[in-house]
Structure 1
Amino acid sequence: MAGDDSQSGVRAATEDDPRTEDELLDRAREYAAAVDLDVDLDSVSWGVSRRAKRRAGAAVYHRAEESVTIRLTWAAYRSFGWDEFTDVIRHELVHAWEFLEHGESGHGERFRAKADAVGASRHCPSFSVPRLQLLCTETGCDWTVDRFKASKTVTKPEEHRCGACGSRYVVEHVDTGERWRTSRGYEGARERIGEEW
């Protein structure tokens, strides 16, 4: 049975799990052929990303060639393990289907319907812990958004509002618990956090 190595965040592989990138790609191709989805797999190529930090997978459409490349993130696979990672493969296959059938893909109603049909999540899970979170300040509103970079919603929160109820929100630095609601607050928190940023 797969376990979780809490020191590294890497799930212990089972005997049948792919152990190399090539094995992962071979297994993903084999798995994709068994998914009940009418997608032209001859127009789909596969690759592994070692650079991605948040996305578990990506489908890239090559309009001129009418083909799709599905990139699977090695760190996400190592974090999730094969059984959980199959959802990522199904999710990216739905994107491939949309690209090849409709020339575009998103996470709208058409995507949702097809994802539901093959048991795929509407959004791929993130495999890394966010650096920052936006948290609504309105009592009863549980809106939160993860952020990995210091975008304007992080550095100038006074210029933005909660995506659910329109109230103000607070930004929290996950590792330290530092919070701020203004650009001045951001600057002070950044200075206090220092190297832990």
Structure 2
Amino acid sequence: MNEVEWYAVAPPCSHEEFLAAVRVYARDAVTHHSLSVAVSDLEWSVSTRAKRRAGVLRYRDDTPLEIRLAWRLFENQGWHAVASTVRHELAHAHLVAEHGDASHGPRFQRLADRLNTATHCQRFTPPEWWVVCTDCEHRLPRYRESRLVRNPGEYACGRCGGRLTVHTAD
């Protein structure tokens, strides 16, 4: 059993149970990796709306304030994906506090490697639409009925300049 599994929770559980496990895991991850993050000073919350972003760090004046995690990530990919996202957001919190840097730049990439977490998340919710180039077949996932989805003829492919069409995701 690896360290992540000690903290594992699984659906169905309440947001409160989920966040309790997340806080305990985060506190131990901070200690284990010597991060300068006060887990108890952070607000932890769940987003039931997020479809593309697994987690987000909110901060002000180089002070980490909140980490919000996507409930759909937990439902669709489970605890291991959440634990990786927690480490990812803790890396941001550490770098914001230490260097005022919230980017995914070289410093973040080195820390993400040390924390064994990805620099960007995999898709965890299927898109509602795919915008597809008729020439190069490049596909863009879309989660909202944006102007591009409603009027693809007003736009051209950013890769080849080709015509775009919209397909409902199945």
Same fold (TM over 0.5): yes
User: Partner letter of residue 50 of structure 2?
Assistant: K
Shift of 1:72: 1.7
User: Do structure 1's residue 28 and structure 2's residue 34 form an aligned pair?
Assistant: no
Aligned-partner Cα distance in 1 for 2:156–2:109: 27
Aligned-partner Cα distance in 2 for 1:43–1:162: 46
C-alpha change, 1:84 and 1:99, in structure 2 (3 Å) is same
Shift of 1:50: 4.3
User: Do structure 1's residue 159 and structure 2's residue 159 form an aligned pair?
Assistant: no
Q: Any conservation in 1 of the 2:73–2:81 contact (CA below 8 Å)?
A: no
Shift of 1:69: 0.6
Aligned-partner Cα distance in 1 for 2:23–2:117: 16
Question: Which aligned pairs between 1:48-59 and structure 2 lie closer than 5 A?
Answer: 48-54=45-51, 55-59=53-57
Aligned-partner Cα distance in 2 for 1:164–1:135: 11
Residue of structure 2 equivalent to 1:39: 36
Q: Any conservation in 2 of the 1:25–1:46 contact (CA below 8 Å)?
A: no
Aligned-partner Cα distance in 2 for 1:123–1:70: 16
Aligned-partner Cα distance in 2 for 1:112–1:158: 38
The number of residues matched between the two structures is 158
TM-align CA RMSD: 2.8
Aligned-partner Cα distance in 1 for 2:77–2:95: 25
C-alpha change, 1:123 and 1:20, in structure 2 (3 Å) is same
Residue of structure 2 equivalent to 1:138: 135
Secondary structure of 2:165 counterpart: strand
Q: Which structure 1 segments of 5+ residues have no match? A: 1-14, 176-197
Q: Which structure 2 segments of 5+ residues have no match? A: 1-6
Aligned-partner Cα distance in 2 for 1:129–1:77: 14
C-alpha change, 1:61 and 1:118, in structure 2 (3 Å) is same
Residue of structure 2 equivalent to 1:77: 74
Q: Any conservation in 2 of the 1:135–1:171 contact (CA below 8 Å)?
A: yes
Shift of 1:49: 2.0
Higher RCO (CA-CA < 8 Å; seq separation 6+): 2
User: Partner letter of residue 154 of structure 2?
Assistant: E
What is the identity percentage for the equivalent residue pairs of Structure 1 and Structure 2?
A: 32
Structure 1 outlier segments of 4+, above 4 Å: none
Aligned-partner Cα distance in 1 for 2:46–2:72: 8
C-alpha change, 1:167 and 1:90, in structure 2 (3 Å) is farther
Single out whichever of 15-24 and 53-62 deviates more from structure 2: 15-24
Q: Any conservation in 2 of the 1:39–1:93 contact (CA below 8 Å)?
A: no
User: Which of these residues, 130, 142, 148, is aligned with residue 143 of structure 2?
Assistant: 148
User: Partner letter of residue 146 of structure 1?
Assistant: P
Residue of structure 2 equivalent to 1:121: 118
